[in-house]
Amino acid sequence: MRWMKFEARWASAAMEGFVSGRGAAFAPHPGEVDFVHALLVMGAASAPLARLGLRLAVWLAALSPLLLDGRLRLLSSVAPEQRGALLARLLVHRSFLLRELALYLKLATSLALFSVATLRERSHYLRALPASPPAPAARALPLVPSVEG
């Protein structure tokens, strides 16, 4: 799946909008996550319809200021701290198609974030889990006497 240069800029702006303003421990450093590469990898491993969905999701996010506010501008020209609010509005839009495309792009963003080892480490995603408690001992359940009648 090939992305045009402007689509790659739009994708980066949209995917960065999902993570801007989040907790400092998990927020990626500038340039730490290559969102476009993650979309390329996802697109290469996806069915044609899924690739089309990814491209539509990027276009939807890019045109969200026009669709939601009627402002003739792109998401990449919106201040980074406002991008998250626009994307959040897409996630609760009344149109099922718009909601699902925004959610698809958010899922792609999550996968891109977790493809970076330093982010997984900072988020403690791979921390050691405590040992599971021992299984309870099996016990017999009391039987209810049957009533013949």
**Model confidence pLDDT, tens digit, residues 89-136:** 999 999 999 999 999 999 999 999 989 988 888 887 777 777 777 777
- Would you place residue 49 in the very low, low, confident or very high pLDDT band (cuts 50, 70, 90)? very high
Q: Residue 25 in contact with residue 37, Cβ under 8 Å?
A: no
Q: What integer best gives the mean pLDDT of the chain?
A: 88
- Would you place residue 81 in the very low, low, confident or very high pLDDT band (cuts 50, 70, 90)? confident
Helices (H) and strands (E) in the chain, counts: 7, 0
Angle at 92 between CA 88 and CA 97, to 5 degrees: 110
Between 73 and 20, where is the model more confident?
73
Residue 44 to residue 111: CA distance in whole angstroms: 14
Q: pTM of whole model > 0.75?
A: yes
Residue 59 to residue 35: CA distance in whole angstroms: 15
- Tokens 């999701």, located at residue: 57
In the 8-state DSSP scheme, what is residue 99? H
pLDDT score of 2: 86
Reading the block at residue 95, the tokens are: 């149109």
Q: Residue 74 in contact with residue 65, Cβ under 8 Å?
A: yes
- Residue 10 in this model has a pLDDT that exceeds 90: yes
